């Protein structure tokens, strides 16, 4: 149990039971995932004029320096694309010695091009929570393509807890699939608002343009956001978790995958997910760039768990097990 690695769901539940992870409200029954914890928005959010790291200060102190106005999330609020917000999270941490954490956007958040990052008091980096940290948690929210409707309890990011550091990490390359008919989607810039708590509630045609590659190639336009799929099926063994990370930017003018956590059991036969693809959230940068079928666009970094989780990805229900090219859960299936 003391070996280094990512903590499984039963260890996260033990941290909740002992108060190392606390909340203003009771935890939701499906909040603890096989190797991560969903985090929930609190009651208050601030539109800020600039992003920041707190440095030696608390996040609340820094918010006072940059806040433009406050929003009441208990009534729901629209966060406008192109703006930056800081919101309270309901979860508070008092991590035991030897335990650190890392946050990442949830899959559904990344697939609507909402850039989110975790903030902690005196934090030196986004998304990383220092070993033994005690204090509140906050989230920076920056919608890029669509304006979004959120409210208290909306889950935008997730926390992965870890003890120590494994001696060795396993890494695999991920290629892009540009075959068949519709091979991707491009976000429409002047679409309506996406309600991030409304599942299957939006017509995808109002928000997305389907893309059909020519000769296995797709031209990425600067500043546009794309949903693509991996060439290979992704399988996360039950004793490992993975994070999808960008490749070296020298191989292409694009950024892949905002939401990088894959929990144990994703894509496995044991969890009835064999053949699942990885969905790629792609944003092109300064220059047009041609992607080719099979081109490497990201890396999967695997880390061991400290022990086998008592449940696997999809056991609590999932919108993305056995997925191919798939938009976020907020949209109806294309063509229906």
Using pLDDT thresholds of 50, 70 and 90, give the confidence band for residue 319.
Answer: confident
pTM for the predicted model, two decimal places = 0.94
43-47, 52-56, 243-247, 274-278: least confident range: 243-247
Burial class of 298 by CB neighbour count within 10 A (0 to 12, 13 to 18, 19+)? buried
In this structure, are residues 166 and 4 in contact, taking their beta carbons and an 8 Å threshold? Answer: yes
**pLDDT given for residue 285 in this prediction:** 79
Query: d(Cα 274, Cα 257) in Å, to the nearest integer?
Result: 21
* pLDDT single digits (tens) 146-205: 999 999 999 999 999 999 987 778 999 999 999 989 999 999 989 999 999 999 999 999
Q: How confident is the model at residue 320 (pLDDT cuts 50, 70, 90)?
A: confident
Contact 323, 259 (CB under 8 A): no
Report all structural domains of the chain as residue ranges with CATH numbers, in order of start.
5-163 (2.70.40.10), 170-304 (2.70.40.10)
What CA–CA distance (Å, rounded) separates 335 from 322? Answer: 19
- The pLDDT assigned to 258 comes to 61
**Residue 12 reports pLDDT greater than 60:** yes
pLDDT tens, residue by residue, 221-243:
998 999 999 999 999 999 999 99
User: What share of the chain in percent tops pLDDT 90?
Assistant: 80
- Mean pLDDT (the chain) is 92
Q: What angle do CA 324, 327, 333 make, to 5 degrees?
A: 85
The two three-digit tokens of residue 303, written as one number: 């880390």
Which SS3 state, helix, strand or coil, does residue 62 take? helix
pLDDT of residue 199: 94
What distance in Å separates the CA atoms of residue 33 and residue 23, rounded to the nearest whole number? 17
pLDDT digits (tens, 9 = 90+) for 126-146: 999 999 999 999 999 999 999
pLDDT confidence tier of residue 269, bands split at 50, 70 and 90: very high
- CA dist., res. 70 & res. 47, Å (int): 6
What is the predicted pLDDT for the residue at 317? 74
Given a cut of 90, whether residue 316 has pLDDT beyond it is no
What per-residue confidence (pLDDT) applies to 259? 60
Contact of 226 with 211, CB cutoff 8 Å: yes
The pLDDT, as a whole number, for residue 260 is 77
What is the structure's pLDDT at 248? 58
Alpha-carbon distance 98 to 2, whole Å? 10
Please give the Cα distance from 306 to 241 (Å, whole number). 11
Question: For residue 256, with 0-12 CB atoms within 10 Å meaning exposed, 13-18 middle and 19 or more buried, which class applies?
Answer: buried
CA 40 to chain centroid: 13
pLDDT of residue 3: 86
Residues 56 and 62: beta-carbon distance below 8 Å: no
Q: Is the model's pLDDT at 272 over the cut of 90?
A: no
Residue 250 scores a pLDDT above 60: no
Mean pLDDT of 201-222: 95
């Amino acid at each position: 149990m003391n070996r280094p690695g990512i903590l499984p769901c039963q260890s996260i539940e033990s941290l909740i039971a002992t108060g190392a992870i606390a909340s203003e409200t009771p935890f939701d029954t499906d909040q603890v995932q096989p190797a991560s914890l969903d985090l929930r928005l609190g009651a208050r959010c601030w539109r800020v004029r600039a992003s920041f790291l707190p440095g030696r200060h608390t996040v609340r102190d820094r918010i006072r320096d940059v806040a433009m106005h406050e929003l009441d999330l208990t009534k729901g609020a629209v966060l406008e694309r192109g703006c930056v917000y800081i919101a309270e999270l309901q979860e508070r941490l008092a991590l035991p010695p030897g335990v650190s954490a890392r946050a990442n956007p949830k899959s559904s958040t990344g697939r609507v091009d909402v850039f989110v990052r975790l903030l902690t008091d005196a934090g030196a980096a986004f998304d990383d929570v220092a070993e033994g940290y005690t204090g509140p948690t906050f989230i920076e929210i920056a919608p890029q393509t669509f304006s979004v409707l959120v409210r208290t309890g909306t889950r935008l990011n997730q926390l992965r807890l870890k003890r120590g550091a494994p001696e060795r990490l396993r890494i695999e390359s991920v290629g892009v699939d540009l075959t068949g008919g519709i091979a991707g989607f491009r976000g429409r810039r002047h679409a309506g608002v996406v309600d991030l708590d409304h599942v299957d509630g939006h017509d995808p045609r109002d928000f997305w343009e389907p893309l059909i590659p020519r000769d296995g190639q797709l031209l990425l336009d600067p500043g546009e956001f794309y949903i693509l799929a991996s060439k290979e099926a992704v399988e996360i063994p039950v004793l490992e978790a993975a994070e999808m990370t960008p490749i070296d930017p020298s191989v292409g003018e694009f950024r892949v995958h905002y939401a990088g956590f894959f929990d144990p059991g994703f894509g496995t036969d044991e969890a009835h997910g064999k053949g699942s693809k990885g969905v790629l959230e792609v944003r092109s940068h300064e220059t047009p760039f041609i992607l080719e079928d099979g081109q490497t666009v990201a890396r999967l970094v695997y880390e061991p768990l400290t022990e086998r989780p008592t449940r696997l990805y999809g056991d609590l229900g999932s919108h993305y097990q056995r997925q191919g090219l798939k938009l976020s859960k907020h949209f109806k299936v294309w063509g229906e």
